[in-house]
Chains A and B, each alone.
Chain A
Amino acid sequence: MNFDDLKNDWQADQSSEPNISKDLLEIKQAKTPIDILRKKMKHEFNYQIVALILMAAFPYLFGFSPQMKLIFLAFYAITCGFTAHYFFKFYRFYKNSYDMTMDSRKSILWFFYEMKLNIELYKALTYIIAFIWMSFITVYLLIEKTGAINRVFAKLSPTYILLNCFITIVIIGVITELWAWYYYGKYLARVKKVVDDLDDE
């Protein structure tokens, strides 16, 4: 194969396609991995808002005592605080524009680290919320279901209970990591591959 001939053929090949029209400047959303990630995070944000609104009805749905309602309110306020904090960060990520005119390495590294940072933030928020509500359920059981809990504690050894707590934490961790990978990881892996291919000497 002669690359010089190929180069000549390539350069002689001028597009006979119709001219680009104004309509193409007004099309749909961009489809870079960052844009896809932003769109997905926006959807998750909407679901989370709906979940928070629904959660506000829990004390009435489950008939909490006045004492439990106060505890619920404290946990609910902490959840709202963390959610607001992280979603402010996600909002900044959503609004932050990117520069496609840098050299490829700089541009792709920017994409990679921006995506990685926001996926980590997403995971951190998931862990925090999961642990807040695990703690709430524990407090609820200790206060509202004292009799049942005492019976369980009497039957099971502390080691067994601790082991169960540990397994629950591991399961939450695994689910969070798998979900983040399934939902966002493939985009990060795609960009990481390009970074590695560029850096490979």
Chain B
Amino acid sequence: MNETENIFLSLINQHKAIIHKVSKMYMIDAEQQRDLFQEIVMQLWKAYPTFKGNSKFSTWMYRVALNTALVYFKKDHRKVDKTPLNENIDVIDTDDSEAKEERLAYLYKAVQELNAVEKALIFLFLENQSHREIALNLGISEVNARVKLNRTKEKLQFIIKKNGYEF
């Protein structure tokens, strides 16, 4: 293995959670998540020579990962399973880490009803990016990023409520 590969693998392994999260946001099926994950890793590797270190590696990764996910073409269009994960779940009363996992599992399920751009907005918001950073990553104005994000958050809340899950 050459040195460039070693450095690249070390960098993406430090930030592999980003790729996993993008894959789970964009694909609900485990096999398709794996395919998208591989696709993102490959696109990152292809684009790596353009990484000059002017920005943080994670910032650069966000762009490549999201751009790949935005145009990724899955083979079949499976219907989104809209049934609640568990209708009797009472998040407040369960063990904290279990409740967190449950909330995230439900989030991943709910975001499947958003379009590709809305998924990108929610992803960047959850990654703690400011409106300005979201706008820069998506190539839209800051005002547009704010408006779109607010609309997407409302839509997500509606989806979660509609499917009978509140947290």
Contact = CB atoms under 8 A, between A and B. Distances in A.
B17 A33 contact: no
A194 B60 CA distance: 21
B64 A190 contact: no
Interface residues of A, number: 47
Contact of B16 (A20, A32, A191): A20
A23 to B, nearest CB: 10
B60 A32 contact: no
Interface stretch (A2-10, A50-58, A80-88): A2-10
A31 B50 CA distance: 20
A25 B41 contact: yes
A27 B42 contact: yes
Contact of A32 (B19, B45, B71, B104): B71
A65 B127 CA distance: 74
Interface string A182-201: 00000100110110011001
B28 interface: no
A111 B68 CA distance: 11
B144 interface: yes
A1 B17 contact: no
B100 A9 contact: yes
A24 interface: yes
Interface of A: 1-3, 5-7, 9-15, 17, 19-22, 24-25, 27-28, 30-34, 36, 99-108, 111, 187, 190-191, 193-194, 197-198, 201
Interface of B: 1, 5, 8-9, 12-13, 16-17, 19-21, 35, 38-39, 41-43, 45-47, 50-51, 60, 63-64, 66-68, 70-73, 100, 103-104, 107, 115-118, 120, 125-128, 136-140, 144, 147, 153, 156-157, 160-161, 166-167
